Amino acid sequence: MPFQNRRHTLFLLLLLAVILPVAQAGEQRPFLWEIEGETTSYMFGTIHLPDERVLALPAPVRAAFSASDAIYTEIPLDMITQLKASAAILLPEGESLRALLGPDLARRATAYVESKERDMDLFDRFTIWSFMLQLTLLDDYEKFLTGVPMDFSLYQQAVADGKQVAGLETLEEQLSLFTDLPTPDQAELLSQTLDQLESLQEKNESPAEQIIRIYLSGDLKALMEETLASTDMDSEVSRRFMDSLLKQRNLRMADRMAALLQKQPETSFFFAVGAAHFAGDDGLPTLLKQHGFKVHRLGAQPQPSPVALP
């Protein structure tokens, strides 16, 4: 698969908790928070998928972006980082995804891929974790491969506007979520993902469209519930993975946001990270408040009680 068709694969990942965010910020309830200070800064919850509805940003988001001096995405999105990410999703030469999965899981994965009129051979060089992330996109695979995710669109606009651009994490930190998982753990998470996808298939529902509807509603509680529904929380592997994916990364990103805000109080920051990182007692708004910042959501109706992350 040529690079231009793979370059966003990693960033489709935090499809927040194995199969998450997709779509556009709702016109009335964008996932947008204001951070008060000497200069106002912002946090925006993104969707890591390309979709026309995603790119049509609501007016409050456009205004916040325009007013900001520095745009921080989850990881740097420069060409070198993208090239490294593209290489990381593939197995070493001579290794096969189907061989790693074993006969039973390989047959099950192949059956699902073929039910979407795709060829399993296309994925046989993928790592287990990167294949798992591809599965949720098969209903409209070409669009997802060639389109521009919201995060990258924001990065491109920031570069065009001459704004400072950077990442809150390194590529290596984000990749380690998956590369540090033993093969049996990756296989277990893949099996759980197939459980959910097969259930949706029986109901004739698209996983991407399901999340699009939730994201467009601006309902943070529903988004978090859907994130948690994508994994089996009775599984020790799932609990550890979700803790690393959300809670531990939130702590790290909040610490780095706070350090930037304290070190550069005259700079207006726009932090763009996946929307699932904003929910609950371990979410970024709560964590920044614990750092002493005043944070509130813009343009939002009153929210239900937050869901605490595991």
Confidence band (pLDDT; 50, 70, 90) for 258? very high
- Going by their DSSP bridges, the two strands 269-274 and 41-46 should be labelled as parallel
pTM for this prediction: 0.86
- Of 307, 304, 288, the C-alpha closest to 296 is 288
pLDDT tens string 145-182 = 778 888 999 999 999 999 999 999 999 999 999 999 99
What is the per-residue pLDDT for 228? 66
What is the per-residue pLDDT for 51? 79
Contact 75, 167 (CB under 8 A): yes
Q: Which residue has the tokens 């350090």?
A: 259
Checking if the pLDDT of 251 tops 60, the result is yes
Contact 220, 275 (CB under 8 A): yes
Write out the two tokens for 121: 């051979």
What is the per-residue pLDDT for 146? 79
Q: How far apart are CA 240 and CA 49, in angstroms?
A: 25
Range of lowest pLDDT (17-21, 108-112, 202-206, 282-286): 17-21
What is the per-residue pLDDT for 49? 75
* pLDDT average, residue stretch 115-144: 90
What is the per-residue pLDDT for 161? 98
Checking if the pLDDT of 16 tops 80, the result is no
Checking if the pLDDT of 14 tops 80, the result is no
What is the per-residue pLDDT for 224? 75
Checking if the pLDDT of 26 tops 70, the result is no
Average pLDDT of the chain, as a whole number: 84
Share of the chain above pLDDT 90, in %: 59
Q: How far apart are CA 227 and CA 105, in angstroms?
A: 23
- Of 136, 90, 128, the C-alpha closest to 112 is 136
**What is the phi-psi region of residue 187: left when phi exceeds 0, alpha when psi lies from -120 to 50, beta otherwise?**
alpha
What is the per-residue pLDDT for 156? 96
What is the per-residue pLDDT for 130? 93
